[in-house]
Amino acid sequence: MSNKPVSRPARVAQEVRRTLSQMLLREAKDPRFQKMTITDCKISKDLSVVRVHFALIGHNEGDPEIQETLDALEKATGFFRTELGKKLRLRIVPNIRFFYDNVPEHVQHMEDLINKALNS
């Protein structure tokens, strides 16, 4: 392991991911958020915008529930920003943008193909 220092944007992105995950689990009232997992957080260098990538457990790209969840997340963005500001005590609270992440379902598809090939 290297002792390379982690940049401030990377640390803030980690904290945003951890805090949002906890809020979705414990505080958010929308039942659609219970199936959601945050897969990645990327923040701009000036900390003004955070891109939150999420996946829905048991859903594939194209499911209408994905768009419904995305709409619900966008409606709750103000709540999330307010809570992030309180919990992280940032001078500038980043704008939050949510994106559906289809990588987990691609991984599952590849695993299925590999298993099928091995078992043939």
Q: What's the pTM?
A: 0.78
* pLDDT score of 26: 86
Domains and CATH numbers, the chain: 8-118 (3.30.300.20)
Confidence of residue 116 (pLDDT cuts 50, 70, 90): confident
Residue 51 tokens read as: 């891109």
Q: At what angle do helices 77-88 and 64-75 cross, to 10 degrees?
A: 60
Q: Dump the DSSP string for 32-88.
A: GGGGEEEEEEEE-TTSSEEEEEEEETT--TT-HHHHHHHHHHHHTHHHHHHHHHHHH
Comparing 87 with 119, the larger pLDDT belongs to 87
Residue 69 tokens read as: 């969840």
Q: Are 74 and 88 in contact (CB under 8 A)?
A: no
Q: Are 8 and 51 in contact (CB under 8 A)?
A: no
